């Protein structure tokens, strides 16, 4: 392992830098993080710009007078380096792609699955378009890529349907740097079961309307706190929360305090209609609370592994309501979810996911050891 590594990002990797930092801190040669753009203003306001990138050398192309020349020099001056690119169709991939022929199978690509949502006709059109698009990308890139890392098993299955070679794929995840906490002192459920929603108030992707409908059928002692306040449907959701018994709008939370605040709740609700991953499930496991999610959150596979909640069909308000009612009626089960979540943190820690990535790079570049196996699947 005598080669440098370059990680290429459209913007600094808040959601995945736990694993990336692990590689930067443990790889025996230089590791560089290259950013095409800075964080958007709203993400800086939410505390994303913490500047912590371990031992990585940081190159911000948006601060360079001639970014194209910087990129050219990297490839020309370090021809044996290993390159890891975030996204098949990102701006940073377009910067890197002209140099692919000279990389000698030393490029690794991470990617979410394409967006496949909407009504039956819209979904059919999307699937047909994506089949053409990603089949073309496969024939363009496959001969250069050492390994492809889609997010989750759903990502692997999706790209397999588009013709990508499953043997070259490793399921991956977004892996933020989250605090390892002591066991949740609030594991016991009180008389009033506490539900939580965190995220954008947007019906089309986040399925907040599914959650709103689900609460109509609930009986017993429960409360639901809505955290967010941004998104296309924010005004409607905030007004709904103000008029609905047992529901409160709590504004936004700083991203650096979410885990601690989540520990005051019993179950987080993830009614999403589409997600490339969904970090809230990672955060819920770290916090040690239960989870009810739709099957369109790719990260629902973590719940299947950890037995920390329930998974229901996306868009089905009645099924989501039934899962919530189960939690209200079965406090012992919720307490077990919370215990199982906390005991599963090691499966998705920065060390576990980072080591997995490190081993993939080592195996596919130098053919050392046995083929890495995904630790959370």
Q: What is the pLDDT of residues 117-147, one digit of tens each?
A: 666 666 677 778 888 888 888 888 999 999 9
CA distance 213 to 326: 16
CA distance 276 to 137: 19
Output the pLDDT for position 345.
93
The mean-pLDDT minimum among 100-114, 259-273, 318-332 falls in 100-114
Longest CA pairwise span in the chain (Å): 67
Q: List pLDDT tens digits, range 253-282.
A: 987 789 999 999 999 999 999 999 999 999
CB neighbours (10 Å) of residue 79? 13
Selected residue with higher pLDDT from 45 and 191: 191
By the 10 Å C-beta count (0-12 exposed, 13-18 middle, 19+ buried), 343 is classed as middle
| Contact (Cβ atoms closer than 8 angstroms) between residue 107 and residue 100 | yes
Output the pLDDT for position 254.
82
CA distance 156 to 375: 15
Within 13 Å and on the Cβ side, how many CA atoms surround 28?
Answer: 4
Domains and CATH numbers, the chain: 5-175+349-366 (3.40.50.2000), 193-347 (3.40.50.2000)
By the 10 Å C-beta count (0-12 exposed, 13-18 middle, 19+ buried), 355 is classed as middle
Residue among 238, 228, 234 at smallest CA distance from 203: 234
Residue 51 φ/ψ region, left for φ over 0, alpha for ψ in the -120 to 50 degree band, beta for the rest: left
Output the pLDDT for position 368.
85
Does pLDDT of 71 surpass 80?
yes
Which distant-in-sequence residues (6+ apart) come within 8 Å of 245 by Cβ? none
Here the tokens at position 342 are 């906390």
Output the pLDDT for position 39.
74
| Contact (Cβ atoms closer than 8 angstroms) between residue 249 and residue 179 | no
Mean pLDDT in residue range 51-62: 90
Instruction: Work out the pLDDT band at 326, boundaries 50, 70, 90.
Output: very high
CA distance 18 to 50: 13
CA distance 350 to 366: 23
CA distance 270 to 189: 20
| Contact (Cβ atoms closer than 8 angstroms) between residue 266 and residue 290 | yes
CA distance 290 to 309: 5
Residue 278 φ/ψ region, left for φ over 0, alpha for ψ in the -120 to 50 degree band, beta for the rest: left
Here the tokens at position 135 are 């089949």
Distance of CA 52 to the CA centre of its chain: 19
Does pLDDT of 325 surpass 90?
yes
Q: Is 103 helix (H, G, I), strand (E, B) or coil?
A: coil
At 58, give phi and psi (nearest 5°): -100, 130
pTM: 0.92
Mean pLDDT in residue range 172-200: 89
């Amino acid at each position: 392992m005598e080669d440098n590594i370059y990680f290429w990002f459209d913007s600094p990797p808040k959601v995945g830098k736990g694993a990336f930092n692990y590689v930067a801190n443990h790889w025996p040669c230089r590791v560089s993080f290259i950013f095409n753009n800075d964080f958007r203003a709203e993400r800086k306001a939410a505390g994303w710009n913490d500047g912590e990138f371990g031992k990585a050398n940081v190159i911000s192309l948006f601060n360079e007078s001639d970014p194209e020349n910087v990129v050219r020099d990297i490839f020309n001056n370090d021809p044996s380096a290993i390159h890891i690119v975030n996204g098949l169709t990102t701006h940073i991939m377009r910067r890197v792609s002209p140099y692919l022929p000279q990389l000698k199978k030393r490029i690794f690509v991470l990617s979410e699955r394409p967006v496949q949502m909407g009504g039956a006709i819209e979904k059919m059109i999307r699937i047909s378009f994506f089949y053409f698009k990603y089949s073309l990308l496969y024939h363009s890139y496959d001969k250069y890529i050492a390994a492809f890392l889609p997010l989750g098993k759903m990502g692997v299955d999706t790209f397999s349907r588009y013709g990508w070679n499953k043997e070259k794929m490793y399921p991956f995840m977004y892996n933020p740097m989250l605090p390892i906490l002591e066991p949740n002192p609030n594991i016991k459920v009180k008389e009033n079961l506490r539900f939580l929603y965190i995220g954008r108030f947007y019906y089309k992707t986040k399925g907040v309307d599914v959650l709103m409908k689900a609460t109509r059928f609930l009986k017993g002692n429960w409360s639901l706190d809505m955290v967010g306040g941004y998104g296309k449907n924010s005004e409607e959701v905030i007004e709904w929360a103000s008029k609905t018994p047992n529901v409160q709008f709590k504004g936004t939370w700083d991203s650096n305090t979410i885990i601690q605040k989540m520990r005051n709740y019993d179950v987080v609700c993830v009614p999403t209609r589409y997600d490339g991953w969904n970090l809230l499930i990672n955060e819920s496991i770290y916090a040690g609370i239960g989870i009810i999610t739709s099957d369109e959150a790719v990260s629902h596979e973590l719940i299947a592994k950890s037995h920390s909640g329930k998974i229901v069909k996306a868009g089905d308000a009645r099924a989501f309501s039934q899962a919530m009612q189960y939690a209200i009626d079965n406090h012992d089960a919720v307490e077990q979810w919370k215990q199982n979540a906390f005991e599963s943190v090691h499966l998705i820690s920065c060390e576990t996911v980072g080591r997995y990535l490190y081993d993939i790079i080592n195996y596919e570049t130098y053919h050392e050891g046995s083929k890495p196996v995904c630790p959370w699947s």
